[in-house]
Amino acid sequence: MFLDHRALLLSLCTASLFACGGGGTSSGGDSGSTGGTDTQTSAPTSGPSGTESESETEDSADETGDDSGPQPGEQAPSARPRVKFKTAERYATDLSNALSLPREALCSELDAFDCVNVHRIALGEVDAFGLRLFEPLENTPITAPIAVDRIALSACGERAAQDFADSGNAASFQDVAGGDASNASDREAVVARLYRQLLLREATEAELEAVSSMHDDLPPTDRAQTWAQMACFVIATSTEALFY
């Protein structure tokens, strides 16, 4: 009775091509071939359809332009954008590093007092022990731009004086220190170096041309050294140099 039911079940499975629970382990030739046929038929069908779906998804994403992230060559926006005026010590440190000058050689008032210390309060710092000023001023005083100009002009003048006195060991103006700075390409090389030293980036074509062209408007006496000092001064007192 049991054998008759089993024989009937196998015959029904073979006739209808349905996969039975015991078909995978059956020793019958028809049952094994049926399982293999099902596997071969389903695999090619699912493969191409899955690939086409992925391609269509990628194409639709490219067409709609949903990718809002930074593109190649672009800079990602800062998560905490903030612009802050540099304090006296930070500004002095930046100038010292950029122009390869000792901190104490940047500027002095009356050849006796360090400019940075003299103008410390105007540039947003405190003087707890000398003036008992424990908090910086709420607003930038009117003398802050003058203090910045004083420090930068003196530091740039010191760098230019040393480079023109010893052009072989020049740190910033070697392209014009040994000549008259009449060659525009030499001046642009100096401007490019100053941008890298003071702003840590490459200068644009417009910036190179603008700073280099100041040369023709200066008095002829010591024009090369004067231009070198003023080119440094313009970049060192730019908004980009004064804020971080």
| Token pair belonging to 44 | 């090619």
Higher-confidence position of 214 and 137: 214
What does the longest C-alpha to C-alpha distance in the chain come to? 124
The answer to the question of residue 221 being in a domain is: yes
The answer to the question of residue 57 being in a domain is: no
The answer to the question of residue 236 being in a domain is: yes
DSSP count for the chain of H helices, then E strands: 10, 2
- At 166-206, the pLDDT tens digits run 998 999 999 999 878 889 999 999 999 999 999 999 999 99
| Token pair belonging to 235 | 């970049």
pLDDT of residue 140: 76
pLDDT of residue 186: 94
| Token pair belonging to 200 | 């840590």
Q: Report whether pLDDT(35) > 80.
A: no
The answer to the question of residue 192 being in a domain is: yes
The answer to the question of residue 20 being in a domain is: no
CA distance 47 to 43: 6
Mean pLDDT value of segment 63-67:
52
Structurally, the chain folds into a number of domains equal to 1
Q: Model-level pTM greater than 0.75?
A: no
pLDDT of residue 36: 42
Domain containing 102 equals 88-242
Higher-confidence position of 123 and 54: 123
- At 119-157, the pLDDT tens digits run 777 776 666 576 676 676 677 778 888 889 899 999 999
The answer to the question of residue 78 being in a domain is: no
Tell me what the pLDDT averaged over the chain comes to.
Answer: 75
Q: Report whether pLDDT(67) > 80.
A: no
The answer to the question of residue 49 being in a domain is: no
Per residue in 195-204, is it b (16+ CB within 10 Å) or e — as a string? bebbbeeebe
Q: Of 102, 227, 203, 212, which Cα lies nearest the Cα of 155? A: 102
The answer to the question of residue 30 being in a domain is: no
